[in-house]
Amino acid sequence: SQTIHQWPATLVQPVGSPLSLECTVEGTSNPNLYWYRQAAGRGLQLLFYSVGIGQISSEVPQNLSASRPQDRQFILSSKKLLLSDSGFYLCAWSVRLAGTGELFFGEGSRLTVL
């Protein structure tokens, strides 16, 4: 069966520090991969998605970046965190089909920037 792992689950970082959130999927090949952010009381904001290694589509032109160094690995990064980067970050994957399919979410990473 397929599983998705996301870490760390919780982190507290000072403003201006770097960030690295990692996500890996097991039990499938060539998945579509996604990073969403869920601010308190808000919806799921699409940050990045990837349909293949090295292929990243950015929806939010901020100080965040994403990379996909391996087929089943998706990394969210920042060189210098802002207070507004605080939130709940969710990684997700879907089967690569002709059209968009069901997303399977990880357990999330809660980031607090102080």
Partner 1 sequence: GENVEQHPSTLSVQEGDSAVIKCTYSDSASNYFPWYKQELGKRPQLIIDIRSNVGEKKDQRIAVTLNKTAKHFSLHITETQPEDSAVYFCAASPGGNKLVFGAGTILRVKS
Phi, psi of 85 (to 5 degrees): -80, -10
Contact with partner 1 (CB under 8 A): which of 11, 53, 56, 103? 103
Which region among 17-25, 32-40, 64-72, 79-87 touches partner 1 (by CB under 8 A)? 32-40
Closest CA to 90 of 32, 24, 34: 34
Q: Is 89 in the site for partner 1 (CB under 8 A)?
A: no
Q: Are 44 and 59 in contact (CB under 8 A)?
A: no
Q: Are 108 and 22 in contact (CB under 8 A)?
A: no
Contact with partner 1 (CB under 8 A): which of 7, 53, 73, 105? 105
Residues near partner 1 (CB under 8 A) are: 32, 34, 36, 42-46, 49, 51, 57, 59, 90, 94, 96, 99-100, 102-103, 105-108
